Every structure is written in C-alpha cells, then in structure tokens.
C-alpha cells in the first residue's frame, strides 16, 4: 500500500522559516504599511528575523512536515 504524502500548510510556509539548526524564525508584525511615519531605525529593525516562542514552534513544525527536523 502506498504511503500518503503530508501537505505543507502554505500560509505557514510563507510566514516562517526553519534554519539548518532547526530554529523556527518569523518576521516582526506591523511592517507592511504606514512606513512614512516610522523612523529609519524602526524600519531597519523590522528586517530582522526573530525566534518563535516555544509553544508556537511546536505548531509550526506540525504544519511544515518537510521543514528541517
């Protein structure tokens, strides 16, 4: 009997990244609009990836079965 493939949750795949060491990273929120009133420093800090909380990490790993283990 053939094994079924698990499906990747596409919206989760767009929002999170799994590193080679297995950490789950995400972007900061509130970065998409109203950029004119934000300082250059604030806009620059929006670019960095942050580690995801441990409780959310478990959920993200379940939704991304083919991310690195």
3-state SS string over the chain? Answer: CCCCCCCCCHHHHHHEEECCCCCEEECCCCCCCCCCCCCHHHHHHCCCCEECCHHHHHHHHHHCCCCCC
Pairwise CA distance, residues 17 & 23, whole Å: 8
* Number of domains within the chain: 1
Which domain, by its residues, includes 24?
1-29+37-69
Does residue 54 have a pLDDT over 80? Answer: yes
The residue-averaged pLDDT of 48-67 equals 93
What's the whole-model pTM score? 0.78
Q: What is the CATH number of the domain that holds 45?
A: 4.10.410.60
Q: State the chain's mean pLDDT as an integer.
A: 90
Model confidence pLDDT, tens digit, residues 5-29: 899 999 999 999 999 999 999 999 8
């Amino acid at each position: 009997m053939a094994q079924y493939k698990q499906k990747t949750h596409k919206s989760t795949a767009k929002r999170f990244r799994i590193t080679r060491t297995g950490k789950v990273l995400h972007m900061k929120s509130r970065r998409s609009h109203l950029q004119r009133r934000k300082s250059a420093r604030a806009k620059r800090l929006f670019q960095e990836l942050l580690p995801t909380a441990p409780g959310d990490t478990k959920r993200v790993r379940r939704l991304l079965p083919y991310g690195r283990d």
